[in-house]
Amino acid sequence: MRFAAYEHRHRRRVAVVEEDGTLFPLPAATSLTELIKDCDGLPGLLAAGAAALDVPPGPHVSQVRLLPPLQPSSVRDFVAFEEHVEGVRRAVEGTGGVPEQWYAAPTFYFTNPHAVYGPDDAIPVPPGSSVLDFELEVGAVIGREGRDLTPDRACDHIVGYTVFNDWSARDLQGAEMKVGLGPCKGKDTATSLGPYLVTADELEPHRDADGFLRLALTATVNGETVGKDLLSNMSWTFEEMAAYASRGTRVVPGDVLGSGTCGNGGCLAELWGRRGERTPPPLMPGDTVALTVEGLGTLTNTVVPGVEPVLLPAGRRRSRERP
């Protein structure tokens, strides 16, 4: 089942999306995040969606403005593709290979849940950046609260999936990571989700013998294909990543777990690292990025000019005087 959040005639609604694009609104729902919380897992969400199909249909998806399918409670973005790590380390850090520690656990960072964009939204260039990049990912959505999950138990806590674009200001990211804390403003201004939330049961036929979802991934810039990969090239399953995310803490309904960027052109920086030059060039205003994931749909956004940064002084070198 596919769910959409949308705006139509100045009202925000949640609906089930049929194959032909017809929307069946859920009468009392205005937020898919809240609906997921209320349903407490996949069975409840499927029941709510089935009930919506018993009422008269609403508009066609072409007649509405699609919103991000949900406003996440939090966003953990993993780095689960080995090929991506190899290429981006060359481009951003100037080093090669994959750190041995990477294989020990599915590393992630927290990105900004308050900077989420939806399908066809304009993406402003981050202030102070001239090296903007996309990142082709899949996001798993948590539907039930859990703590210290095993991978087997985590399966019941993932309610669905969506296409995930982790927009990255590579020049800001490279400077920030020299401090040793990872990216901040390099990843802070935009994450795109959409076009729909596809429930987990829909993707089970794509699961391979090792538990990975074998879905085709494609990235285009201005209609030209720059990347193609398979989601099954992840080094950890989403269930394993959800278990790690819940270690010593909680995952809650509405949390999004990003797969990390796929390989073979899942972002421009990987290609720059492999080629030794910025080909294709960084994204500029007017460029349109379309990310397609088999079974999930296509998420399209166009880059627009951003604002100039508010200038701040450099850090002061203090005397370290003591009382």
Give 267's Cβ-side CA count (13 Å radius). Answer: 31
Which pLDDT band holds residue 96 (cuts at 50, 70, 90)? confident
Rounded mean pLDDT, 38-63: 96
In DSSP terms, 76 is beta-bridged to 110, 257
Query: Tens of pLDDT along 243-261?
Result: 999 999 999 999 999 999 9
Region of poorest pLDDT, from 180-184, 249-253, 274-278:
180-184
pLDDT at 33 over 80: yes
Q: 260: which residues sit within 8 A by CB, 6+ positions away? A: 77, 78, 79, 80, 81, 84, 108, 137, 234
Q: Shortest CA distance to 187 belongs to which of 203, 200, 171?
A: 171
Peptide bond into 126 cis (omega under 30): no
Mean of all residue pLDDT scores within the chain: 96
pLDDT at site 90: 82
Query: Tens of pLDDT along 120-152?
Result: 999 999 999 999 999 999 999 999 999 999 999
Q: H-helix or E-strand containing 240?
A: helix 238-245
Which domains does the chain possess?
Answer: 2-66 (no CATH), 75-304 (3.90.850.10)
Report the first-to-last Cα separation within the chain, whole angstroms.
65
Residue 45 token pair: 């969400």
Dihedral sign (CA 264, 87, 241, 42):
negative
CA distance 323 to 64: 63
Dihedral sign (CA 55, 26, 295, 63):
positive
Query: Tens of pLDDT along 70-81?
Result: 999 999 999 999
- Whether the Cβ atoms of residue 123 and residue 117 lie closer than 8 Å to each other: yes
Residue 229 token pair: 């990969």
pLDDT at site 142: 98
pLDDT at 43 over 90: yes
Please state whether beta strands 288-293 and 216-221 pair in parallel, antiparallel, or not at all (unpaired): antiparallel
pLDDT above 70: percentage of residues in the chain: 100
- Whether the Cβ atoms of residue 266 and residue 84 lie closer than 8 Å to each other: yes
CA distance 145 to 201: 19
The residue written with tokens 């999306």 in the block is 17
